[in-house]
Amino acid sequence: MLKILVTGATGRTGSLVVKKLQTQSNDFQVIGFGRSHEKVQQIFGTTKDFLIGDILSENDLEKAMEGCQTLIILTSATPQMKGIPQEGKRPEFEFPDHGTPEIVDWQGQKNQIDIAKEVGIKHIILVGSMGGTNPNHPLNSLGNGNILLWKRKAEEYLIGSGIDYTIIRAGGLLDKPDGRRELLVGKDDNFLNSPPDGVPTSIPRGDVANTVIAALTAPNARNKAFDLISKPEDFPHSEITKDWDKLFYQTTSSL
């Protein structure tokens, strides 16, 4: 049985990955890793099979990864709105002192990769975001955090680590039902630079979670880094993605 650690397990996408893996308990043993007992209890109703810790702590991560073959990284810095914006003005955002993209998306992910290598993790699945090729992407200006640039740096570090990897750069995340759309893979932010006709650069969170889980056992998902979006439901001539080997076969091994 494959033992998996999911970091960022209390995030909106991370919690979906954990819940979906828990329904496949005959195939996978999943351990969730988060920062707050209260949040774990609130989301899952139990703290069983969860470890509470800090992604910057080597001891916490070593304990969490014990006996695991796979690491799924879903940690991400989260900007917070600075008060209520004045009428007619755009809201301003900031990051907590110890929750900046440099700390969470670079140092924290680098630490996870380093510890994973030390303890013998065989495969790391990292969920990131499209837009990392564009320093001027609007998300980088939030709280002056350069979040996509730090994410990209961590991705490059993972690729150079020697561990088998799958890097999923998701489009804009939607809170809509999953399993009802055709998924599209690309690279180098081609979807952002030249969007397919009539296809938004977005995807339901649940479809990202499904892709993560499919990547656990699909050989064609190994050592691949790709962008991921979805066609809208009932898009003309679309076909709901069910053949994961076919999807991953289309991906490439380059950044």
pLDDT at residue 166 in the model: 98
pLDDT tops 80 at residue 85 = no
Each residue's pLDDT tens digit, 51-72: 999 999 999 999 999 999 999 9
pLDDT at residue 86 in the model: 67
User: Mean pLDDT score of the chain, rounded to an integer?
Assistant: 94
pLDDT tops 60 at residue 255 = no
On the 0-12 / 13-18 / 19+ scale of CB atoms within 10 A, 68 is buried
Each residue's pLDDT tens digit, 99-156: 999 999 999 999 999 999 999 999 999 999 999 999 999 999 999 999 999 999 999 9
**Per DSSP, which regions of the chain are E strands?**
2-7, 28-34, 50-52, 70-73, 80-81, 93-94, 123-129, 164-170, 172-174, 183-186, 202-204, 224-230
Beta bridge partners of 228: 170, 185
pLDDT at residue 12 in the model: 96
CA separation, residue 195 to residues 75, 136, 171, 175, 246 (Å): 27, 18, 11, 21, 22
pLDDT at residue 84 in the model: 73
Question: Nearest CA to 106 among 43, 140, 72, 151?
Answer: 151
Percentage helix, strand, coil for the chain under 3-state DSSP, each rounded to 5: 35, 20, 45
* Residue 82 binned pLDDT confidence (cut-offs 50, 70, 90): confident
Residue 123, SS3 per DSSP:
strand
pLDDT tops 70 at residue 228 = yes
Strands 123-129 and 70-73, bridge-based pairing: parallel
In angstroms, how far is CA 33 from the centroid of its own chain?
14
User: H or E element: which one contains 203?
Assistant: strand 202-204
Known catalytic residues are 129
**What backbone phi and psi angles, to 5 degrees, belong to 19?**
-60, -40
Say how far apart CA 181 and CA 201 lie, in whole Å. Answer: 13
pLDDT tops 80 at residue 74 = yes
Which domains, ranges and CATH numbers included, belong to the chain? 2-249 (3.40.50.720)
Say how far apart CA 132 and CA 157 lie, in whole Å. Answer: 14
User: H or E element: which one contains 4?
Assistant: strand 2-7
* Greater model confidence, 129 or 196: 129
The size of the chain, in residues, is: 255
pLDDT tops 90 at residue 3 = yes
pLDDT tops 70 at residue 11 = yes
- Residue 105: what residue type? D
* Residue 254 binned pLDDT confidence (cut-offs 50, 70, 90): low
CA dihedral over 119, 121, 122, 128, signed as positive or negative: negative
Question: Nearest CA to 18 among 42, 49, 39, 41?
Answer: 49
State percent of the chain over pLDDT 90.
87
- The 3-class SS string of 165-183 reads EEEEEECEEECCCCCCCCE
**Per DSSP, which regions of 68-163 are E strands?**
70-73, 80-81, 93-94, 123-129
pLDDT at residue 88 in the model: 66
- Does residue 230 contact residue 184 with C-beta atoms inside 8 Å? yes
pLDDT tops 90 at residue 92 = no
pLDDT at residue 97 in the model: 87
pLDDT at residue 198 in the model: 87
- Looking up tokens 């510890």 gives 115
- Does residue 209 contact residue 174 with C-beta atoms inside 8 Å? no
